Structure formats: C-alpha cells, structure tokens
Structure 1
Amino acid sequence: MKVEKLTEIIDSDFYTGVPDSQLKALCNYLMNKYGIDPQHHIIAANEGNCTALAAGYHLATGRLPVVYMQNSGEGNIINPVASLLNDKVYAIPMMFIIGWRGEPGVHDEPQHIYQGEVTIKLLEDMDIASFVIGKETTDEEVAAAMENFRKLHKQGKNTAFVIRKGALSYDEKTVYGNENKMVREEIIRHIVKVSGEDPIISTTGKASRELFEIREANGQSHKYDFLTVGSMGHSSSIALGVALNKPDTKIWCIDGDGAVLMHMGSMAVLGANAPGNMVHIVINNGAHETVGGMPTVASKINLTAIAVACGYPYAVSVDSFDLLDKELEAAKLRNKLSFIEVKCSIGARDDLGRPTTTALENKQNFMNYLKTLR
C-alpha cells in the first residue's frame, strides 16, 4: 500500500511518534512532507510522550491525532492509554500506527519475538480496536476499516493500524546526515581498546552489533559485554545496577542519544547514586539511525549540562579522536562517575552483521565473567 494513500484515508494533519524500520515509508513521507513541524509532525522521546502530546493536540483542536511506533513501544503507552485516553477517563480518541516486528511466522531478532506474539493481545487488553495491513491488503479494505474506526473515535475510543513487514511503500528518497566526522564503529573501537577487560553494557541497535563485530575482529571473548538488544533506553540503568554491585570494577556503558532521550529520568537516578566506578558514554549522532536515520532532538540540547544538573560529578563533550582518547584514559583512572558525549556522524557499514550468539548465551557468559570480579 502506498503510504500517501494510507494518510489520505486517515485524514489527519498531526503525527507524532518514535521511528521504526517497519514504518520507514511513513517516517520518510512525513519528513519529506512536513520535516519536524510543531503543527504537523513531532518525533518525541518515547511512545508515552507521543501519546500525551497527541492528547494535548486533541484537547486544543478537537481533531484526531496519529501516533506511530514500533510494537515494542506498546509498553510505554499502556499508562496514558489506560489512565488518560480511555473512555472511562477522558475519552480522548487517538489513531495508532504500529509496526509489527516479530510477527509470528516471520523471522526476526530475539528481542522482537515475544513482543510480536503479544502485539494484538496487548491492543485488545487496552481496548484498542485494530486492523492489520499486509502486502495484499487493498486500499478499499483499509478505507472500510477507517470508517468503522471513525465511529469508535466519536465514542472517545482508540484504534490502531498494525503494519506487517513490507506492507507500506514510498517511492521518494530521504537522505539523513550531519556535520560530525567521527564514525560510531571507530568510536567503539577506541572504547574497547581503553576499557580492556572491564565490562561493557551497550545500547540497543547498531552500537551493540558493532561492539560484537569488533570483539570478533580482535579475537576477543564476548564475555566482557552485555548487549542490550531490546529495552531501548535502559542500558544505563542496567549498567548502574551492575556498577553498584561490583564497586571495585570499572563499568562502561555505551549509550545512544535516542536511547538517552527515551528514558532521561534514569540520568537523575544515576547522578543521585553517582557510582565512582562507572563511565557513561553517549554516542550522539542526533538520529534514530538504526531504524532509518530520522532525527532526534539531541543535536539541539546540551547533554553535558543535563548530566551535571543530574549530579554527575564530571561531564564532557568531545568531537575528535584525540579528545576522545584523552577523556577515555582519564575516565578509566577517575574514581568518580564520568559522562562523555561523543559527537558522531550518521552511517554504518552496509555489511554490518548481527550477534551470532543468542541473548541467553550473552547473559550467561556475562554473568559468569562478573562472578570473577569484585
């Protein structure tokens, strides 16, 4: 289905969401048509944030907002859907567009398997009527589903189009980039060199894939790393939990700007606890690169100032490998919580692979290694 036809059928002029590779056609269409426009299109920090933002749009205009997301974001919308939107509370109508990763019978990565199994059930449990759009779904079927949805919207209910892999198409090209020169894989290679045998917790997406391949290329064990392949935005909290319980071991967290934005409150908890044995590195390319390259707001905010305000005793931003190496070496020796923002370009190797070990193997190998440390 052409994404232009889907948006015509929905007939809304306000979209907010968190980008998803399964919804790349929609994301690129919105960026080409609106860009980032407060009146029409906002990429928010997380899916709950999107839902509340869309609710405000409806309160101000009386019109129907659209929230788009990967199905992994359903967990983030449960609270605002149940306690804000629901027709037993404020009866705020909303249209969700959800990319169905991990659909049963369709091969996907381990972090998507269970989420894919419960995608429709979670919508049913939240009283969100849904219609699945696949490659063979006709425009007429989608239009008929939307007519039924409009009746529910008048009752203050929520609805969802669930998008199967390859169901949406968009012919125009969209190119994302920035002015930064440092490449993420090389940044991680420098971190690996300095961290030595210290444990690393890495964030969702290409960063963990690149860390895995760097270990392979170096002939190193993967036992040093916990690859947070799902649970976007939580790698720094995982690292905090490890750091507090291994106080004599330096713990490194490789984070991303989109992940930090998604659950930024974790920085306040980190700063309040301030484990002296932890280094929090945020590789900031101002983009949701793993799912297509759509922008985050991280290029417009001061992450180091936020870290300091949250209680980090040391925070710095670097944009060259000379400065990065200097700060990594200093952080390794420093007995204070350190925050390093690294300004990064957008892009990765076309042949970038995925971890060849299972998530369970990764966890067990990492835990076994942690048992040897203090």
Structure 2
Amino acid sequence: MDTGIFGENLRQLGYTFYSGVPCSYLKNLINYAINEYDYVAAANEGDAVAIASAAYLGGQKSVVLMQNSGLTNAISPLSSLNYPFRIPLLGFVSLRGEPGVPDEPQHELMGKVTTQMLELMDVEWQYLSRDLEEAQKQLIQADELVAQNRPFFFVVKKGTFDTEPLKKQQNLIHSNEIIRRVYKDNQRPTRHEALAVINSVKDKETVQLATTGKTGRELYEIEDSANNLYMVGSMGCISSFGLGLALSQPDKNIVVIDGDGSLLMRMGSLATNGYYSPGNMIHILLDNNAHESTGGQSTVSHNIDFVNIAASCGYTKSIHAHNLEELEACMHEWKKTKGLTFLYIKISKQSKEQLARPAIKPYEVKERLQRFLQIDSIEIKEVDGS
C-alpha cells in the first residue's frame, strides 16, 4: 500500500510520535515517520515501548515499531508497565519467520509464536491488510481500542508497505559540557535520606519518576503526590520513560530517580537520552552496589564509572555528588540552568524496615498524573478515505 497515504491516515487520527527499532519489513513506515514526525530511535524495543508510553501519558498519541524478534525484549514493559498502568499505544510488529515464507533460521520460532505472545499479554492484534481501504478501516478499529486505554498491535507481513525513501537526516550532536568527578569521600546516606532531599526541591512544575522496588515505595512514604509516578515493574525502563515524558512535556521538569541495578539492565538508554538531550530532564542515580530491594545481592556496578559513561553519551552535565548538601545544591542549580543532567550519588544499603507499598493502584497513579499535567482525553477522529 501507499506508505505516505497510510501515514497521513495515522496523522489524522492524532498519531505523530513514533519510537522504535528498525526492521526491513517496516523500513518504509519507519522512513516515513523519520521524514515527517517526531521519531525516537531507541536502543532496544523495550525502551521504545517505555518512550512511546510516556509520550502518550504526556499527551501525544504514540506509535511503536519493532521486529518480532524484538517483541521478546518488549515483554517486560508491555506486561508490567502498559498492563498495570493501563497505558495504551499503537504498535506495528513485523512477521519475520512467517510459516511457509523462506527466511533466516533465527526467525523461525518467533514467526510461529508472535501472535500467541501478543494474546498471552492480553494485547489485541490484527494482521495489517495490504489493501489501503481495508487498512484504513483497521486503523479506526485500533484507535477505538487505544481510546479505551488498551494497546493494539498490527502484525505486518513482508511487502505490506510501498517504497518510502529516507530523506537526508541531520544528526543531533550533543557533547558533555560539565563533568564533576569524585574528589573526596562519599557520605553514603540512606536511600530515604537522599529521596527526602530530592523531594524537598520539588515544585508544581516538577514530575518525579521513581524506579521499581524500594525507590518508589520510599518516595511514596516520604510524600505521595499527584506529580509522582512509582514504577512497579519494567526494571531498567525508568529513564526511557523519562525521555518520552520530557519530550512530550517540555514545560515540565522531569526528575528521573534510578538505581544501579535498574540502569545496568538497560544501559543503552543513556545513549538515546544523550542523543535527544531534553534540557528539562535530570537523571539521578542512587548507587548502593546492590539489588537491595530483593535481598541485597551485589550488582556489578562497583567498577563502573557511570559519570564518565553518561558524559560520553552526551549528557550536558554529568556530576558526582558526594553528600546530601551537594545533591541538593546540584538540583537547585539544574532548575536554574537546565540541560540534560546525570547526577550520581553513592548511598548505603540500609532501608527502612516494614516499608509500605503504595495503596493507590498503578492506573490511578497514571490518571492522577495526567490530571496534574492537564492532559485531556483524546477524541477519536475519522480517517479520510482518500
């Protein structure tokens, strides 16, 4: 089908934000998205889902694109982010390894189980028709489900989209301007103490995103507020979620609170964040060298220089804070000067005993945050049949 007309149909329905990972079956739709709209090239498919999901929460109807081999990478956010938070998105996944169609051996199994995986995750899906008129009808049906806070995926077979040449791209080049490395002993406060400082700097223009586990639970105990989001799964996706929200809400200050175990799981997100470089995002890493939320097992962060890595990925500022006073001062400085900032602090392995869990359900957290952001429900629009 004509890729440009199909893409215009998507625009008429309000879909102008795209994130994904390339696939040859989807290259023409991806080229169209890059040529015409906001497209975020994610390091992996799970990050793409997190980015697109946050953009939707921030008021932009979003599309995620991936090869079916990458659907396995996206299982975590689809099952533990989109499902419990009831965050919808429109997805396109290729059908590499389609039974009866010659393909590479690594695609054989995924070709057999792609649609079964979507069904197991309670994701509605359809094979996308090659006929434009029929595909337009399918888009309207899919959009109706998205409007009900449900993700919908089109499974795309080989040869579905007509050629869409990729226009010349202007690469975004962002380099580190400020780096402050370790130069004295670390205070190693508790996570609770560090979170209390971070929360004290919050204002009505701030959104705080806390990674899964005890980070979100302790922030909830310090102060539960409408501009907090507590990730309950999707380990490693919090900074990608922050990127999507920062890009869709440029007037808000997006504070991402991460942990070493979480960041290690999806370190490719640092490169993506640095490339798109939203100036309204600060990425705070609380490093205790442990998976403390699950019993204190050691991570492999002991020998990693996160500050240098973030700087090399293009974060405008990359700073090692040695104590709570520096942590607070750096946050106040960021609020004045902005710029994508990585703020690192060593914390102890101590945590509060009898730590509560949020009483509010994940989808209620999402809805409350949308009200804080003043995001109205998006009306379903009819597709022009031309």
Q: Please report the TM-score for the alignment, with normalisation by the length of structure 1.
A: 0.51
Q: Which amino acid aligns with 1:202?
A: A
Change (3 A) 1:276 1:356: same
1:303 aligns to 2:311 (yes or no): no
Residue of structure 1 in register with 2:242 after alignment: 239
Q: Which of these residues, 340, 348, 353, is aligned with residue 350 of structure 1?
A: 353
1:299 and 1:73 map into 2 onto residues whose CA distance is 26
Q: Which of these residues, 335, 353, 360, is aligned with residue 338 of structure 2?
A: 335
1:211 aligns to 2:214 (yes or no): no
Q: How many equivalent pairs are there?
A: 208
Change (3 A) 1:237 1:74: closer
**CA deviation after TM superposition for structure 1 residue 234, in Å:** 0.4
1:181 and 1:272 map into 2 onto residues whose CA distance is 31
2:322 and 2:291 map into 1 onto residues whose CA distance is 19
1:364 aligns to 2:367 (yes or no): yes
Alignment gaps of 5+ in structure 2: 1-45, 47-71, 77-95, 98-104, 108-116, 122-185, 377-386
Q: Which of these residues, 257, 260, 283, is aligned with residue 257 of structure 1?
A: 260
Residue of structure 2 in register with 1:104 after alignment: none
RMSD between superposed Cα atoms in Å? 3.1
Contact 1:319/1:344 (CA < 8 Å) preserved in 2?
A: no
Alignment of 1:1-374 (within 5 A): 75=75, 181-197=188-204, 198-216=206-224, 222-371=225-374
Q: Give CA deviations for 1:231-264 in whole Å, capped at 9, x if unaligned.
A: 0000111111111111121110011111111001
Change (3 A) 1:292 1:190: same
Q: Give CA deviations for 1:39-61 in whole Å, capped at 9, x if unaligned.
A: xxxxxxxxx9xxxxxxxxxxxxx
Residue 329 of structure 1 aligns to a residue whose secondary structure is helix
2:106 and 2:255 map into 1 onto residues whose CA distance is 44
* Structure with the higher helix share, 1 or 2: 1
1:361 and 1:230 map into 2 onto residues whose CA distance is 16
Contact 1:284/1:344 (CA < 8 Å) preserved in 2?
A: yes
1:268 and 1:237 map into 2 onto residues whose CA distance is 10
Change (3 A) 1:257 1:372: same
Q: Which amino acid aligns with 1:317?
A: H
**CA deviation after TM superposition for structure 1 residue 333, in Å:** 1.4
1:89 and 1:340 map into 2 onto residues whose CA distance is 40
**CA deviation after TM superposition for structure 1 residue 74, in Å:** 10
Change (3 A) 1:347 1:74: farther
Q: Which amino acid aligns with 2:198?
A: I
1:324 and 1:209 map into 2 onto residues whose CA distance is 20
2:276 and 2:73 map into 1 onto residues whose CA distance is 28
Structure 1 residue ranges, 4+ long, deviating more than 2 angstroms after superposition:
72-76
1:260 and 1:319 map into 2 onto residues whose CA distance is 20
Alignment gaps of 5+ in structure 1: 1-47, 49-71, 77-81, 91-114, 120-178, 217-221
Q: Which amino acid aligns with 1:193?
A: S
**CA deviation after TM superposition for structure 1 residue 181, in Å:** 2.7
Q: Which amino acid aligns with 1:320?
A: N
Q: Which amino acid aligns with 1:212?
A: Y
Residue 302 of structure 2 aligns to a residue whose secondary structure is helix
Higher relative contact order (CA 8 A, sep 6+): 2
Contact 1:202/1:208 (CA < 8 Å) preserved in 2?
A: yes
1:215 and 1:372 map into 2 onto residues whose CA distance is 23
Contact 2:187/2:323 (CA < 8 Å) preserved in 1?
A: no
Q: Give CA deviations for 1:258-315 in whole Å, capped at 9, x if unaligned.
A: 1111001011000001101111001011111111111111121100100011100100
Q: Please report the TM-score for the alignment, with normalisation by the length of structure 2.
A: 0.50
**CA deviation after TM superposition for structure 1 residue 196, in Å:** 2.2
Q: Give CA deviations for 1:147-184 in whole Å, capped at 9, x if unaligned.
A: xxxxxxxxxxxxxxxxxxxxxxxxxxxxxxxx863100
Change (3 A) 1:329 1:372: farther
Residue 258 of structure 1 aligns to a residue whose secondary structure is helix
